[in-house]
């Protein structure tokens, strides 16, 4: 069953002009796996394949979104930043690009956020096109809880 991306996350994504230009499409989220896609045409390079920067951006935002969703599962609407990343390009993507991220956050992820502490989440994002793996992304994201919880919570 696909769950919608919460409005508070969608509003943050909608403020990033590059993501709008890339035409990123939310495809699927079931609580453990997230799938995002973007078409070739607005992300094409001079060789007729997907621009490497678009591949990197889609992978980065997929991990960022998953980290934000995991924080919301813990009941915390927090800021998320990427601390480090690696991206290995395997082959060109010549059609729609898909990014998939599966996550089972460790128990301390929720506990640290609920205690008002920063916590790191390491994620892998698989990138594919036409059913073939085109890149592998690993990112370390830091979830930063608000300094003060709103009154009444």
Q: Which domains does the chain have, with CATH numbers?
A: 7-144 (3.10.129.10)
pLDDT tens digit sequence for 37-62: 999 999 999 999 999 999 999 999 99
Alpha carbons 67 and 80: distance in angstroms, whole number: 7
Six-digit token pair at 45? 């390079």
Alpha carbons 53 and 45: distance in angstroms, whole number: 10
pLDDT tens digit sequence for 105-128: 888 999 999 999 999 999 999 999
Element spanning 87, H or E: strand 79-89
């Amino acid at each position: 069953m696909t769950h919608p991306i919460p409005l508070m996350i969608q509003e943050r994504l909608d403020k990033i002009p590059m993501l709008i230009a890339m035409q990123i499409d939310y495809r699927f989220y079931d609580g453990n796996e997230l799938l995002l896609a973007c078409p070739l045409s607005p992300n094409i390079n001079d060789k007729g394949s997907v621009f490497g920067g678009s591949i990197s951006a889609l992978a980065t935002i997929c991990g960022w979104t998953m980290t934000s969703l995991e924080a919301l599962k813990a009941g915390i609407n927090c800021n998320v930043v990427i601390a480090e990343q690696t991206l290995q390009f395997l082959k060109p993507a010549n059609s729609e690009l898909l990014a998939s991220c599966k996550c089972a956050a460790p128990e301390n992820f929720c506990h640290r956020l609920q205690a008002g502490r920063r916590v790191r989440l390491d994620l892998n994002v698989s990138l594919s096109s036409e059913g073939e793996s085109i890149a592998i992304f690993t990112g370390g994201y830091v979830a930063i809880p608000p300094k003060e919880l709103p009154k009444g919570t």
